Amino acid sequence: MNLYSSIWSLALLAGLATLAAEVRAQSGSLLNQSMVDQNGQVVAGTPLTLERTSFLYQPVPPEAQREVRPNDIITVLVDYRTVMNSDGMAQVRKTGNFNAALVEWLGFDGKDIFAAPQTRGDPTIGGQLNSNMRAQTQLDTADALIFRIAATVVDIRPNGNLVIEAHRRVTNNEEVWLQSLTGVVARQFVMPDRTVRSDHIAELTIDKREMGQVRDSMSRGWIGKWYGKYKPF
């Protein structure tokens, strides 16, 4: 190595040492934020929170932070669906044979009753009975009940479960819709927006009725109800 190269190497090392004294390393975290105090000194970064780091964060409304109390109102999301499939088959066969013979008979001459022999042979009778019955049934049913209703907290049990009750009546001219709901729900199933799903409600009772011209046009008469219940034929 010549003298010229040695001088350049020493100058480069001296420059790097000067820069190292003034340059600070960058933090490896892009989420770390430093704060500056009143004296202009940089202090440690603030702790990471969900509010500062998540793009989907939504603040909880003040009413959701308040504990549920009696007479508070929550919304019940009713989504009740059932599907039932039933197949059945019954078959009955019956065969019967019978034979009868009259071996003794009575005679009466006006004064006494006596045994009367059958001079032409004992009368007999014979028969056969065959019966066959076969029945096959198939039942497929599906129903759904979907609506939202506001319920009132009528009681809070010692273990924290909420007793709720809801009633709604809608009248449109001659049409009337009645909806009622009662049940018990655990506090942890009530979401922050004060809603609860119907499948989380115990002792659930739902009553939905319709009255008016539309209902009357679809309902059965009393003869149809009697025939459907007793089926005489």
What is the three-class DSSP state of 144? Answer: strand
Task: Give the residue-averaged pLDDT of 219-226.
Answer: 76
Nearest Cα to 80, choosing from 192, 205, 215?
205
The whole-model pTM stands at 0.53
Q: Are 73 and 167 a contacting pair, CB within 8 Å?
A: no
Q: Express each pLDDT in 19-54 by its tens digit.
A: 554 445 555 555 555 555 566 565 555 566 767 677
36 backbone dihedrals φ, ψ, rounded to 5° = -115, 125
CA dihedral 191, 195, 198, 204 (to 10 degrees): 100
Dihedral sign of CA atoms 75, 76, 78, 79 in order: positive
The full set of domain ranges for the chain reads: 73-84+143-230, 85-139
* Distance (Å, whole) CA 123 – CA 117: 11
Separation CA 24–CA 10 (nearest Å): 23
**CA–CA dist 121, 137 (Å, integer):** 53
What's the confidence (pLDDT) of residue 142? 85
CB distance 194 to 74 below 8 Å: yes
192: tokens are 């922050």
Instruction: Encode pLDDT of 138-151 as tens digits.
Output: 878 888 889 999 99
